A and B are shown apart, each in its own frame.
Chain A
Amino acid sequence: DTAVSQTPKYLVTQMGNDKSIKCEQNLGHDTMYWYKQDSKKFLKIMFSYNNKELIINETVPNRFSPKSPDKAHLNLHINSLELGDSAVYFCASSLQGAHGYTFGSGTRLTVV
Protein backbone atom coordinates (compact mmCIF):
# COMPACT_ATOMS: atom_id res chain seq x y z
CA ASP A 1 0.00 0.00 0.00
CA THR A 2 1.22 3.51 -0.81
CA ALA A 3 1.28 5.49 2.39
CA VAL A 4 3.13 7.29 5.13
CA SER A 5 3.78 4.83 7.91
CA GLN A 6 4.92 5.64 11.44
CA THR A 7 6.10 3.39 14.22
CA PRO A 8 5.28 2.91 16.98
CA LYS A 9 1.62 3.95 17.14
CA TYR A 10 1.73 4.22 20.93
CA LEU A 11 4.71 5.00 23.16
CA VAL A 12 4.55 5.17 26.95
CA THR A 13 7.79 6.01 28.70
CA GLN A 14 9.20 7.54 31.85
CA MET A 15 10.60 11.02 32.25
CA GLY A 16 14.27 11.25 31.40
CA ASN A 17 14.25 8.42 28.88
CA ASP A 18 15.36 8.71 25.24
CA LYS A 19 13.05 7.47 22.50
CA SER A 20 12.76 7.44 18.71
CA ILE A 21 9.85 7.53 16.29
CA LYS A 22 10.29 6.28 12.74
CA CYS A 23 8.57 7.41 9.55
CA GLU A 24 8.68 6.05 6.03
CA GLN A 25 6.86 7.12 2.87
CA ASN A 26 6.64 5.23 -0.42
CA LEU A 27 4.85 7.96 -2.38
CA GLY A 28 7.97 9.29 -4.09
CA HIS A 29 7.58 12.63 -2.27
CA ASP A 30 10.67 14.78 -1.79
CA THR A 31 9.67 16.65 1.38
CA MET A 32 8.87 15.20 4.80
CA TYR A 33 7.66 16.84 7.99
CA TRP A 34 7.16 16.29 11.69
CA TYR A 35 4.13 17.93 13.28
CA LYS A 36 3.07 17.90 16.93
CA GLN A 37 -0.63 17.85 17.85
CA ASP A 38 -1.30 19.04 21.36
CA SER A 39 -4.31 18.42 23.60
CA LYS A 40 -6.18 21.32 21.96
CA LYS A 41 -5.75 19.62 18.57
CA PHE A 42 -3.47 22.29 17.09
CA LEU A 43 -1.00 20.83 14.61
CA LYS A 44 2.33 22.67 14.81
CA ILE A 45 5.29 22.22 12.50
CA MET A 46 8.49 21.03 14.10
CA PHE A 47 10.84 20.06 11.28
CA SER A 48 10.92 19.58 7.55
CA TYR A 49 13.42 17.88 5.25
CA ASN A 50 13.67 18.21 1.49
CA ASN A 51 15.77 15.53 -0.18
CA LYS A 52 17.57 14.82 3.11
CA GLU A 53 18.28 18.51 3.75
CA LEU A 54 16.81 20.25 6.81
CA ILE A 55 14.74 23.19 5.56
CA ILE A 56 12.49 23.98 8.52
CA ASN A 57 13.53 23.94 12.14
CA GLU A 58 10.93 25.68 14.26
CA THR A 59 11.45 26.69 17.86
CA VAL A 60 11.79 23.22 19.26
CA PRO A 61 13.97 22.19 22.26
CA ASN A 62 17.28 20.76 21.09
CA ARG A 63 16.32 17.55 22.88
CA PHE A 64 14.45 16.84 19.64
CA SER A 65 16.67 15.77 16.76
CA PRO A 66 15.38 14.72 13.35
CA LYS A 67 17.35 12.46 11.06
CA SER A 68 16.73 11.73 7.40
CA PRO A 69 18.88 8.86 6.08
CA ASP A 70 17.23 9.17 2.66
CA LYS A 71 14.29 11.06 1.18
CA ALA A 72 11.86 8.26 2.00
CA HIS A 73 12.65 8.20 5.73
CA LEU A 74 12.48 10.79 8.50
CA ASN A 75 13.03 9.77 12.09
CA LEU A 76 12.59 11.78 15.28
CA HIS A 77 14.77 11.18 18.30
CA ILE A 78 13.88 12.73 21.64
CA ASN A 79 16.34 12.91 24.53
CA SER A 80 15.54 13.36 28.22
CA LEU A 81 11.78 13.16 27.79
CA GLU A 82 9.63 15.55 29.82
CA LEU A 83 5.96 15.44 30.82
CA GLY A 84 5.22 18.31 28.41
CA ASP A 85 6.41 16.21 25.48
CA SER A 86 3.25 14.12 25.76
CA ALA A 87 1.31 14.64 22.51
CA VAL A 88 0.54 13.00 19.20
CA TYR A 89 3.37 13.31 16.68
CA PHE A 90 2.51 13.15 12.99
CA CYS A 91 4.82 12.55 10.10
CA ALA A 92 3.75 13.89 6.70
CA SER A 93 5.12 14.10 3.20
CA SER A 94 4.49 16.19 0.11
CA LEU A 95 5.87 16.88 -3.33
CA GLN A 96 7.96 20.02 -3.79
CA GLY A 97 6.74 21.52 -0.51
CA ALA A 98 3.35 22.52 -1.83
CA HIS A 99 -0.02 20.93 -2.41
CA GLY A 100 -1.73 18.62 0.04
CA TYR A 101 0.30 16.68 2.54
CA THR A 102 -0.15 12.98 3.14
CA PHE A 103 -0.08 12.28 6.87
CA GLY A 104 0.84 9.19 8.79
CA SER A 105 -1.55 7.83 11.42
CA GLY A 106 0.38 9.40 14.30
CA THR A 107 2.37 8.30 17.32
CA ARG A 108 0.76 8.97 20.69
CA LEU A 109 3.58 9.67 23.12
CA THR A 110 2.79 9.58 26.83
CA VAL A 111 5.50 10.55 29.29
CA VAL A 112 4.85 9.46 32.89
Chain B
Amino acid sequence: EDQVTQSPEALRLQEGESSSLNCSYTVSGLRGLFWYRQDPGKGPEFLFTLYSAGEEKEKERLKATLTKKESFLHITAPKPEDSATYLCAVQDTGRRALTFGSGTRLQVQP
Protein backbone atom coordinates (compact mmCIF):
# COMPACT_ATOMS: atom_id res chain seq x y z
CA GLU B 1 0.00 0.00 0.00
CA ASP B 2 1.28 3.46 -0.93
CA GLN B 3 2.27 5.65 2.02
CA VAL B 4 3.27 9.29 2.36
CA THR B 5 4.62 10.79 5.57
CA GLN B 6 5.30 14.49 5.92
CA SER B 7 7.38 16.22 8.56
CA PRO B 8 7.31 18.37 10.48
CA GLU B 9 3.57 18.57 11.11
CA ALA B 10 3.89 22.31 11.75
CA LEU B 11 6.70 24.80 11.21
CA ARG B 12 6.98 28.39 12.33
CA LEU B 13 9.63 30.55 10.65
CA GLN B 14 10.68 34.15 10.83
CA GLU B 15 10.54 36.05 7.56
CA GLY B 16 13.77 35.37 5.69
CA GLU B 17 14.57 32.19 7.66
CA SER B 18 15.10 29.41 5.12
CA SER B 19 14.07 25.82 5.87
CA SER B 20 12.99 22.52 4.31
CA LEU B 21 9.89 20.34 4.48
CA ASN B 22 10.22 16.58 4.17
CA CYS B 23 8.05 14.04 2.37
CA SER B 24 8.93 10.34 2.76
CA TYR B 25 7.11 7.91 0.53
CA THR B 26 6.63 4.22 -0.17
CA VAL B 27 5.27 3.07 -3.51
CA SER B 28 5.71 -0.03 -5.62
CA GLY B 29 6.57 2.13 -8.63
CA LEU B 30 6.67 5.92 -8.73
CA ARG B 31 4.81 7.55 -11.57
CA GLY B 32 5.08 11.03 -10.07
CA LEU B 33 5.47 12.97 -6.82
CA PHE B 34 3.42 16.11 -6.43
CA TRP B 35 3.60 19.15 -4.18
CA TYR B 36 0.54 21.26 -3.49
CA ARG B 37 -0.13 24.36 -1.44
CA GLN B 38 -3.42 24.65 0.46
CA ASP B 39 -4.68 27.90 1.98
CA PRO B 40 -7.42 27.80 4.68
CA GLY B 41 -10.87 27.26 3.17
CA LYS B 42 -9.50 26.58 -0.30
CA GLY B 43 -8.62 23.62 -2.45
CA PRO B 44 -5.02 22.48 -2.94
CA GLU B 45 -3.09 24.44 -5.56
CA PHE B 46 -0.64 22.54 -7.74
CA LEU B 47 3.04 23.52 -7.35
CA PHE B 48 5.34 20.83 -8.81
CA THR B 49 5.53 17.35 -10.27
CA LEU B 50 8.75 15.34 -9.96
CA TYR B 51 9.16 12.10 -11.89
CA SER B 52 12.58 10.63 -11.15
CA ALA B 53 15.31 10.67 -8.51
CA GLY B 54 17.67 13.59 -8.93
CA GLU B 55 15.07 15.83 -10.49
CA GLU B 56 14.68 19.38 -9.15
CA LYS B 57 12.11 22.08 -9.87
CA GLU B 58 11.96 25.70 -8.77
CA LYS B 59 9.28 28.34 -8.51
CA GLU B 60 10.05 31.67 -6.91
CA ARG B 61 11.22 30.92 -3.33
CA LEU B 62 10.36 27.20 -3.56
CA LYS B 63 12.56 24.38 -4.76
CA ALA B 64 11.51 20.73 -4.79
CA THR B 65 13.96 17.83 -4.95
CA LEU B 66 13.45 14.08 -5.21
CA THR B 67 15.33 10.96 -4.15
CA LYS B 68 14.20 7.34 -4.31
CA LYS B 69 12.70 7.54 -0.83
CA GLU B 70 11.87 11.16 -0.13
CA SER B 71 11.29 14.64 -1.44
CA PHE B 72 12.19 17.97 0.06
CA LEU B 73 10.51 21.31 -0.43
CA HIS B 74 13.11 23.98 0.27
CA ILE B 75 11.82 27.46 1.09
CA THR B 76 14.40 30.20 0.67
CA ALA B 77 13.92 33.53 2.45
CA PRO B 78 10.20 32.94 3.05
CA LYS B 79 7.68 35.75 3.26
CA PRO B 80 4.44 35.86 5.30
CA GLU B 81 2.46 35.13 2.10
CA ASP B 82 4.15 31.72 1.95
CA SER B 83 2.15 30.70 5.04
CA ALA B 84 -0.04 27.73 4.08
CA THR B 85 -0.27 23.97 4.39
CA TYR B 86 2.02 22.18 1.97
CA LEU B 87 0.83 18.77 0.79
CA CYS B 88 2.88 16.02 -0.79
CA ALA B 89 1.30 13.26 -2.88
CA VAL B 90 2.48 10.28 -4.91
CA GLN B 91 1.05 8.47 -7.87
CA ASP B 92 1.85 4.79 -8.16
CA THR B 93 2.41 3.37 -11.63
CA GLY B 94 -0.45 0.98 -11.03
CA ARG B 95 -2.99 3.60 -9.91
CA ARG B 96 -4.56 6.73 -11.28
CA ALA B 97 -5.36 8.29 -7.91
CA LEU B 98 -2.92 10.26 -5.79
CA THR B 99 -2.03 9.25 -2.23
CA PHE B 100 -1.58 12.32 -0.04
CA GLY B 101 0.34 13.00 3.13
CA SER B 102 -1.25 14.95 5.97
CA GLY B 103 0.70 18.09 5.15
CA THR B 104 3.05 20.54 6.86
CA ARG B 105 1.42 23.67 8.20
CA LEU B 106 3.88 26.52 7.61
CA GLN B 107 3.58 29.86 9.35
CA VAL B 108 5.97 32.68 8.40
CA GLN B 109 6.01 35.56 10.82
CA PRO B 110 7.02 39.08 9.77
A: residues with CB less than 8 A from B are 4, 31, 33, 40-45, 48, 50, 55-56, 58, 90, 92, 97-106
The closest CB in chain B to the CB of A38 belongs to B102
- Judge whether B91 and A98 touch: CB under 8 Å: yes
**Also in contact, A56 and B46, with CB within 8 A (given A41-B102, A98-B91):** no
Could you name 18 residue pairs across A and B whose Cβ atoms are closer than 8 Å?
A31-B96, A33-B97, A41-B85, A43-B100, A48-B96, A50-B96, A56-B95, A56-B96, A97-B96, A98-B96, A99-B32, A101-B34, A101-B46, A101-B98, A103-B43, A104-B43, A105-B42, A106-B41
Secondary structure at the B interface, as helix, strand, loop or mixed, is strand
**Chain A residues within an 8 Å CB radius of B101:** 42
Further pairs besides A41-B103, A43-B44, A99-B49: 18, Cβ < 8 Å: A31-B96, A40-B102, A41-B85, A42-B101, A42-B102, A43-B87, A43-B100, A45-B99, A56-B95, A90-B44, A92-B43, A98-B32, A100-B46, A100-B49, A101-B46, A101-B98, A103-B36, A104-B43
- Judge whether B97 and A106 touch: CB under 8 Å: no
Contact with A along B80-105 (1 / 0, CB 8 A): 00000101010100011111111100
**Chain A residues within an 8 Å CB radius of B102:** 40-42
- Judge whether A42 and B100 touch: CB under 8 Å: yes
- Judge whether A103 and B96 touch: CB under 8 Å: no
**Chain A residues within an 8 Å CB radius of B32:** 98-99
Within 8 Å by CB of A102, from B31, B46, B87, B96, lies B46
**Chain A residues within an 8 Å CB radius of B58:** none
Within 8 Å by CB of B44, from A55, A99, A103, lies A103
